[in-house]
Structure 1
């Protein structure tokens, strides 16, 4: 009976803690500017010399308290990435992703606001993509295993991207915040070719500045 009472007490305490954490969960919106690139190397092992391309991100997130000053911050963003391609005039790669970042956030009192520092993984799903230049444009075909026909007027690329986030910022007493974030893609976006592993590597990298507001 004593064990059952202790077990029931523990369950009730956990439920009360979860409910309390849920009550303290806050939600926010975020939007900003991206400076993105496609890095890696071609089939010959030569590194790309692409240049940064400006894009944007916009989305929502939640902050779930874990401990004093520590939070779990999942979110959903629409983010545009890509690059200005080397040796190709004005050709730009434009790729739109639905991203799900999950950051472990540290918020410490600083002045009348809070210092923000975070790190965590993200997963992105490519939903739009196009290469545009002076000579025309070509849609990105999202595929994990490309065929020869996929390269006719199109550029094959994997749909799923994933990597790591870093963020540093400040939240004012008014609940507005400014944030500097960086991303390092860890998955090769180059697809297989008719079942063979790709010889080149292409990854998303970049940084950005955003503003947000917590409700």
Structure 2
């Protein structure tokens, strides 16, 4: 997770999260596919300082559309890909622990009204991925997702919050 406040960039430590989904391939040429699907992805971050610990967990439903190039046949071969993503925030939780004051926890509300919501619901980003086909359908891959949307509802000031994540996947492709 990345945040920028008053022209000062701050990278919040990544937090391990869960991801699961389905992927579908559609061949364009012998070596190029469009790969899409629907994923549940936990994004967020954590920050720790003297006497202070902050954790942000954001749950999204994500729709990637990747263009994938296969080096050879789709068995025992490598592949690379990239493409846009559209993610919709569905739930989340913010937790802060301050030494001597205890722990505060709050549910995250997604929307566009700064009086009612904490973060914007929609997150637009891009994927880059690389992997290996164990069989025509079974694959292993690593992926980086870079969110472009400022999650803060009020864009009028210089404060920005963006999602970024790494993922390791073992998956099964349909429509291969």
Q: Which category of TM-score, normalised to the shorter sequence, fits these structures?
A: 0.7 to 0.9
- Alignment partner of 1:120 out of 63, 83, 87: 83
Considering only aligned residues, what root-mean-square deviation do their CA atoms show, in Å?
Answer: 2.0
Report the alpha carbon displacement of residue 145 of structure 1 after superposing the two structures with TM.
Answer: 3.3
Q: Distance in 1 between matches of 2:162 and 2:95?
A: 19
The structure with the largest alpha-carbon Rg is: 1
- Alignment partner of 1:208 out of 154, 167, 171: 167
Unpaired runs of at least 5, structure 2: 98-102
Unpaired runs of at least 5, structure 1: 1-37
1:24-35 equivalence runs, <5 A: none
Q: Distance in 2 between matches of 1:111 and 1:212?
A: 14
Is 2:110 the counterpart of 1:142? yes
Higher strand share: 2
- Alignment partner of 1:175 out of 116, 137, 140: 137
Give TM-score scaled by structure 2 length. 0.87
CA contact (8 A) 2:3 2:12 kept: no
CA contact (8 A) 1:50 1:86 kept: no
1:6-155 equivalence runs, <5 A: 38-42=1-5, 44-85=6-47, 87=49, 89-109=52-72, 113-134=76-97, 135-147=103-115, 150=116
| Cα offsets for 1:12-67 (capped at 9, x unmatched) | xxxxxxxxxxxxxxxxxxxxxxxxxx20211x222224111000210001100111
Q: Distance in 2 between matches of 1:160 and 1:111?
A: 34
CA contact (8 A) 1:118 1:167 kept: yes
State how many pairs are aligned: 168
CA contact (8 A) 1:48 1:86 kept: no
Report the alpha carbon displacement of residue 172 of structure 1 after superposing the two structures with TM.
Answer: 1.0
Q: Distance in 2 between matches of 1:69 and 1:108?
A: 7
Q: Distance in 1 between matches of 2:173 and 2:134?
A: 10
Report the alpha carbon displacement of residue 74 of structure 1 after superposing the two structures with TM.
Answer: 1.2
SS in 2 for 1:146: coil
CA contact (8 A) 2:93 2:106 kept: yes
